[in-house]
Structure 1
Amino acid sequence: MPLIVLWDIDHTLIENNGVSKQIYADAFRRLTGQPSAHRARTEGRTDRLICRQMFLDHGLEPPTWDVIGPALEAAGAGLEAELARRGEVLPGVRDVLTLAAAERNFVSSVLTGNIAANAMVKLRALGLDHLLDLECGAYGEHSEDRGALVEVARKRVHQQHALPLTTPVVLIGDTPRDVQAAHDTGAHVVAVATGVDSAEALRMAGARMVLSDLRESSRLIDHLRSLAL
């Protein structure tokens, strides 16, 4: 049976070392002409929600998304070289993505709060873009609600690969929001304690499988294969 494997990006596949916060701050400056006094609140939120909240935190009415989106994309493009310099691929990621890409029954893509353009910037800057099927991923421009992105990914995989909409999905991420998105949509979840949330916090959020990092590649791939049976 096929399996849709959807990876989070920040703190699951890569560490951006503060560049993401710079992207949001630069987009805010582009839109308001002033520096941001409050840092963007991320923690598994989508870009739509992050940007709207950032404006509210400054006491400003958020612009419409068709105004915010291009500014955010321009900010990401302008910081790609900085991300390539400062960012890093987390331990085990290249190996596990290579193994997942080689599995004939897997569609290995992303479910991320980043807009598609900035997801590509991050993955390309650190040499991971060729290991994922990014055409059928779900991205931060699609909804404020992370859970809603699961259905987006299901539909895009259906369109790109002609897989049934009932194909099982597994989310792999580092925050309780990843766990909640899976539970809300009937998806499986694997939590990875490589972000700010501890393994215990991820278990408390409801994740049955929690990894310390993605160096446990064989164990993870074996588990994913079991979900496809």
Structure 2
Amino acid sequence: MPLIVLWDIDHTLIENSGVSKEIYAAAFKDLTGRAAVHPARTEGRTDRLILAGMFRDQGEEPPAWESIQPVLEAAGAAREADLARRGRALPGAREALAAVAAEPGMISSVLTGNVRANAQVKLRAFGLDGQVDMECGAYGADAADRADLVDVARARVRAAHGTPADTPAVLIGDTPRDVQAALVSGAHVVAVASGVHSADELREAGASVVLADLTDVAALMRHLRSLAHAAR
């Protein structure tokens, strides 16, 4: 049975070193003409929720998403060089992506709260974008709730690769929201304690498999192969 592998980006594959929050701050300023007093609250939220919450934290109603998205994308594109200079690919990320990409039957893409253009910026800044099928990913413009993104990705993979409707999916991410999105949508999850959430917090959220980071690629691949094998 094929296996759909969906990677979170920030704090799972890359460390953005504060650039993400600068992107949101710049988008807010471009939309309103003034600097935000309260910074964006992220922690696994989608861009739709992050920007809506940012506006409300400043005491304002958010504009229509159709007004926000192009401004957010422009802010992300303007900071790619900053991201490449200040950020980094996390330990094991490059090797783990390459291993999954090379594995027969595994379809590797992303499930991220970022809009697609900014997801591309973040992966391209570290040369990671060629290791995943970006066309099949699910992004922050696709839904407000992260759990809803799982079915978006499943549908895109099915359309592109002709996979069966019951093809298993696994989310790899660093926040309780990643864990909850997998549990709610019937996907598997590999939690990675490479962000602000501890291994204990991720287990408490419901993850049965928690890694300190992605450096043990062999162990990760054994687990992913076991998921594909169990679905046969």
Q: Give the structure 1 partner of residue 85 of structure 2.
A: 85
| 1:1-229 correspondence runs (5 A) | 1-229=1-229
Residue correspondences, number: 229
TM-superposed deviation, 1:19: 0.1
- Structure 1 unaligned segments of length 5 or more: list them: none
- Aligned with 1:228: secondary structure? helix
Distance 2:165 2:135 in 1: 17
Distance 1:91 1:81 in 2: 21
The two structures, once aligned, show a CA RMSD in angstroms of: 0.5
- Aligned with 2:202: secondary structure? helix
TM-superposed deviation, 1:165: 2.1
Q: Deviations 1:37-73 (Å, cap 9, x if unpaired)?
A: 1110000000000000000000111000100000100
- Aligned with 2:107: secondary structure? strand
Amino acid at match of 2:109: S
Q: Deviations 1:10-56 (Å, cap 9, x if unpaired)?
A: 00000000000000000001100001111100000000000000000
TM score, norm. by length of structure 2: 0.98
Amino acid at match of 2:198: S
Q: Deviations 1:164-206 (Å, cap 9, x if unpaired)?
A: 2211000000000000001001100000000000000101111
- Aligned with 2:5: secondary structure? strand
Distance 1:135 1:60 in 2: 34
Q: Show structure 1 runs of 4+ deviating over 2 A.
A: none
